[in-house]
Amino acid sequence: MILFALFSNNPILIIPWLTALLMAITIHEFAHGFAAYRLGDDTAYRNGRLSLNPLDHIDPFGALMLLLLGFGWAKPVPINIYKVGKGRWGMIIVSSAGVIINLSFAVFILFLLKFFALDHFAYNNLMITFFAFLVYINLALFIFNLIPIPPLDGYHIIEYFFPRVFMRFAPFIERWGTIVLLILVFGTNIIGYLINFVIVAFSLLFHINISFLAFGSM
């Protein structure tokens, strides 16, 4: 199992990794539901999904992948597009809410690391590692979910932001999108390169080696 192989030298790190991942996935789904709720759609609220409890967002297969691979997903928050106000822009806001909250949370934790935590704790302290995991995972989810392939957020952003362009390619994307996504994830390292590029960019921006803080003690 990839997760246990990754942390074989320090298995205790599985706990903060899974905790950080659950937090990132939960705030992602909550953001979608909250944005929709603020724009007039109470579907997520009525289904008990306007919640920060990870158990309310668990997808069985995604949870299994979480345990086996160390990376998983939650159930998509139900959205009724006919209740969301502000028309097309409302749906763009709802579709973008998840990636925006992941990016914002990552930046917030980076500020905590730079201006507080690293001044008071050693780089290999468990709390520092946990914060680094939060940054790494939230940035990874930010990039991954921007991929314009269903069922990811990037697809729905394009769907509403560029409706004319979307209509040309929608039949092909919806028919083959899942297969293309699986090939990208398991057959190439393109997504890994994109995530690494963003991690390095933010490391340079904040003068913090995110990957080293997250995995340097392993």
Could you report the per-residue pLDDT of 3-27, keeping only the tens digit for each?
666 777 888 888 999 899 899 999 9
Comparing 215 with 5, which gets the higher pLDDT? 215
User: Model-level pTM?
Assistant: 0.90
Q: Residue 113: how many CA atoms within 13 Å on its side-chain side?
A: 30
- Whether the bond between 151 and the residue before it is cis, its omega within 30 degrees of 0, is yes
Could you report the per-residue pLDDT of 96-141, keeping only the tens digit for each?
999 999 999 999 999 999 998 888 777 778 899 999 999 999 999 9
With a cut of 80, say whether residue 218 has pLDDT above it.
Answer: no
User: Among 16, 29, 41, 144, which one carries the catalytic annotation?
Assistant: 29
With bands split at pLDDT 50, 70 and 90, how would you rate the model's confidence at 217? low
Q: Which pLDDT score, from 0 to 100, does residue 83 have?
A: 94
The answer to whether the beta carbons of residues 206 and 114 sit under 8 Å apart is yes
With bands split at pLDDT 50, 70 and 90, how would you rate the model's confidence at 157? confident
Q: Which pLDDT score, from 0 to 100, does residue 118 have?
A: 82
Active site residue 174: no
